[in-house]
């Protein structure tokens, strides 16, 4: 981060930013971003899997329960992110467009985690996880939209790198809090507390860009709903960028969904929960080593596509490795390679996405549409993974499928023409 950044008043909300953001702004936004990932990944990595095992009704497998809970929650996320992004584009407030949704989202997310902590049956799990997904997607949509609002093109790889750092630390911290709290309910409570407190510095900074009433887009339901369709024919770079992200994330989701069960049921690990924590830590350490470097390097050379392509190829190779090298050593090597690849992909692909947005007035909505490429794989992965694991060849077939899907996503980035 550049210590000499200009800390002048926020620019015109619909202008292309030209002034580099200050380190304290990037740090506060990154911490707010971490709050979302703690709220999501404490449950996803540990708590939901343990709860599914504990609450599975007679005749249901833990895999099926987890698939239903995460799949329905991801479906909510699929709709919530672009809707809240579009609403934040239209929000007129002295606190800015994005901040009200950041605050409302973390409060709602904490409430959803409280519902999960008290869940005594699968239906309550589904309700709580849907509330978490609904609310935290409001926060996430607002956080990512703040980047094209404030960050010039030549700094987006760097800021994307810092958001990648905070995402990774959020995943690790969420997993750690879930494991260390001393129980399922206490794990949810610890994640909820962090999620709320971590947005306070960004809110206190008050550098969100207010939108004048005169610039607020009209809010007619027909125009509002039609705005979510962004024609690939009219915006081909946006369409290819979306498809690239969707396929790479689907490959990752297929590979990671049943990691706890893979360690327990295939590798017969003595302590699979701590195994997940160790693999997450290794993956995250190498991601942290590459995410900021990849973003800054991409800014300096002025290119995005080669970084995204080769990062995707590396991740696909690592996932494929898990199909044929099913030992603890093999999983460690795969986790290391996935961390390196996803580190570069996270920062540079985010910058690429910000560079292909169709219009300044709809940044939140357009990024929300892009974020469907993050959420839709969470819906599709359980639908694909559960029958593969139980009926169509087990974990080897699952990991080969994940590798081929991710590789297709990496190669298709070459179809983008407006970004090098």
- Please tell me whether residue 266 adopts helix, strand or coil conformation: coil
pLDDT for position 227: 67
Give the pLDDT score at 194.
96
Within 181-235, where are the H helices? 184-197, 200-205, 221-226
Q: Identify the burial level of 11 via C-beta atoms within 10 angstroms of its C-beta, where 0-12 means exposed, 13-18 middle and 19 or more buried.
A: middle
Cα–Cα distance measured from residue 254 to residue 381, given in angstroms and rounded to the nearest whole number: 5
Rounded to two decimals, what is the model's pTM?
A: 0.79
Domain boundaries along the sequence of the chain = 23-206+222-415
Q: pLDDT value at position 375?
A: 73
Top-level CATH class of 23-206+222-415? mainly alpha
> Rounded to whole angstroms, how far apart are CA atoms 336 and 351?
24
Please list the helix, strand and coil fractions of the chain in percent, rounded to the nearest 5, in that order. 80, 0, 20
How far apart CA 336 and CA 304 sit, in angstroms, is 23
Q: At 38, is the secondary structure helix, strand, or coil? A: helix
Contacts of 334 (CB under 8 A, 6+ apart): 318, 319, 321, 322, 325
pLDDT per residue rounded down to tens, the chain (420 residues): 444 444 444 457 777 788 888 999 999 999 999 999 999 989 988 899 889 888 888 878 887 888 889 888 888 988 898 999 989 988 888 888 899 999 999 999 999 999 999 999 999 999 999 999 999 999 999 999 999 888 988 899 999 999 989 988 898 899 889 988 888 999 999 999 999 999 999 999 888 878 878 777 766 666 666 667 777 787 888 889 999 999 998 998 888 878 888 888 888 777 787 888 888 788 888 988 899 899 899 988 888 889 999 999 999 999 999 888 888 888 999 999 999 998 899 889 988 888 888 877 788 888 888 888 877 887 788 888 888 888 888 888 999 999 999 999 999 998 998 777
d(CA 208, CA 146): 8
> CA 142 to CA 194: how far, in whole Å?
18
How far from the centroid of its chain's Cα atoms is residue 249's Cα? 9
Whose structure tokens read 């580190």? 343
> What pLDDT does residue 220 have?
66
Determine the Cα–Cα distance for residues 69 and 64; give it in Å rounded to an integer: 9
Question: Is the Cβ–Cβ distance between 310 and 413 less than 8 Å?
Answer: no
Per DSSP, helices labelled H in 59-199 are 62-89, 99-117, 122-150, 156-180, 184-197
* Contact between 36 and 139 (Cβ < 8 Å): yes
């Amino acid at each position: 981060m550049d210590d000499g950044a200009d800390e002048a008043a926020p620019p015109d909300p619909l202008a292309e930013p030209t002034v580099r953001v200050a380190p304290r702004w990037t740090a506060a936004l990154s911490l707010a971003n971490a709050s979302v990932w703690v709220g999501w990944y404490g449950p996803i990595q540990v708590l939901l899997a343990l709860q599914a095992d504990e609450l599975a009704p007679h005749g249901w497998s833990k895999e099926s329960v987890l698939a239903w809970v995460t799949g329905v929650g991801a479906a909510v996320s699929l709709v919530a992110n672009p809707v809240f992004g579009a609403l934040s584009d239209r929000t007129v407030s002295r606190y800015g467009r994005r901040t009200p949704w950041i605050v409302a989202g973390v409060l709602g997310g904490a409430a959803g985690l409280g519902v999960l902590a008290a869940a005594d049956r699968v239906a309550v799990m589904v309700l709580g996880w849907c509330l978490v997904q609904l609310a935290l997607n409001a926060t996430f949509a607002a956080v990512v939209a703040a980047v094209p609002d404030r960050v010039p093109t030549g700094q987006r790889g760097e800021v994307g790198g810092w958001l990648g750092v905070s995402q990774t630390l959020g995943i690790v911290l969420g997993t750690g809090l879930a494991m260390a709290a001393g129980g399922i309910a206490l794990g949810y409570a610890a994640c909820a507390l962090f999620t709320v407190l971590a947005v306070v510095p960004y809110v206190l900074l008050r550098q969100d860009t207010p939108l004048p009433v005169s610039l607020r887009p009209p809010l007619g339901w027909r125009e509002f709903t039609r705005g979510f369709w962004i024609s690939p024919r009219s915006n081909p770079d946006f369409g290819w960028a979306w498809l690239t992200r969707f396929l790479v994330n689907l490959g990752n989701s297929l590979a990671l969904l049943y990691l706890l069960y893979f360690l327990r049921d295939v590798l017969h690990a003595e302590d699979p929960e701590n195994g997940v924590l160790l693999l997450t830590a290794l993956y995250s350490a190498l991601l942290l080593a590459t995410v900021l470097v990849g973003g800054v390097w991409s800014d300096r050379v002025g290119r995005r596509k080669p970084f995204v392509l080769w990062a995707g190829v590396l991740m696909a190779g690592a996932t494929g490795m898990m199909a044929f090298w099913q030992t603890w050593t093999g999983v460690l090597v795969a986790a290391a390679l996935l961390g390196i690849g996803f580190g570069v992909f996270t920062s540079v692909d985010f910058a690429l996405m910000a560079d292909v947005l169709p219009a300044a007035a709809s940044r939140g909505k357009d990024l929300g549409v892009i974020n469907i490429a993050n959420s839709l794989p969470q819906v599709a992965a359980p639908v694909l993974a559960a029958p593969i694991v139980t009926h169509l060849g087990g974990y080897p077939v699952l990991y080969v499928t994940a590798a081929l899907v991710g590789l297709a996503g990496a190669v298709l980035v070459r179809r983008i023409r407006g970004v090098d």
